[in-house]
Structure 1
Amino acid sequence: MDKNQRREVQYERKHYKHYDKKYPNFSGTFARGDCTNWASQDRLHAAGGMTSRDKHARKHFGSGNRISTKHSKWYCRHAKSTLFGLRKHWNYSTSWTTVKGFYKYWAGTKHRPHFVTSSFRRVMAHVRVGDVIQLHSKKDGWHHTVTVSKVAKHMVYYTSHNKNRLFAPLTKIKSLTGLAKTNKIRVIEMGI
């Protein structure tokens, strides 16, 4: 592993279960999941530096968070607290927090190599530590994001939030969400 890959794996070991307080946690009862937020944190700590500013963010009704839906932006920042500092607010892009947005940013805007397959064998033959895998099911569409954290001779291991996995075998991922079986896998080669 190179320096960036080691840095990413160190971050994963530290925060896969004990979420980093420098970022929002989207795994609560009413949230849609923290998987892509986690992949973004992983990417940031592997390569360093966010790529965009938050000037296009719009205030989200009720939460106080400012969210940008422009897929050409990728960021997450702590905003100034309101209510005498009692409530945290965040400025972030949907490319930081959603499966679709992450893909559009990294594959579209940043032109990272990517492919879609239904073959675990193809995935295992082509991924490297730091790559991002997204899952698709007929029922839910593209719905989950994990990061490749270890590549061995006959197995690829991933790390993720939502179910807090560290070095879990990729072959077990079909029932990861418990919602529907994965029928396609999308790999975004992050090149770290």
Structure 2
Amino acid sequence: MSARANLPEEFNQALRKFTYGFYILTTRKKAEELSQRSEDYIAAGTVSWVSQVSFTPPLVMVAVQKQSDLNETISKSRVFALNFIGSANQQLIQAFGGKTAVSDDALNGFSFENGATGSPLLAACPLAIECHLVDAIHTQGDHVLFIGRVESVTIRDENAKLVTDQEIGHVYGGTK
């Protein structure tokens, strides 16, 4: 079981872990809020454009392709989680580069738990930040910038080395 940390001390610790690397972005829209589905809908994908926006309040930004399931689901759910990928779990980058396969306890074959916001937190990831959406910037380009207020931080392994783009040689060329 992972411990959820209180803000802002742990938020600062988490921000020091940001790299120019890769993350798995997850979100969930509850079934009762959907007109086309009878079950909760989970969207997940690999992203690489992530940044700190503010210390007070604690805000982060993530860029998501306009045509993706993540874009639509975050826009409707208004929550998301950034799952930080550890160097030992680089296979997550490719595993979440396409459609998301959901079973009762796994996303694309990787176990998860529901976080405080309802967003899935991947057990294979050493750190996760959960956010409530506060703003969406629709750029002229092919991505939407989602700005989220950090509501919860889950630290599973504070000493884990996180995967960076330099480490994997830019094997993934964009965001989902």
TM-score (norm 2): 0.29
- More strand, by proportion: 2
- More helix, by proportion: 1
Which protein shows a greater Rg? 1
Higher relative contact order, chain-length normalized (CA < 8 Å, sep 6+): 2
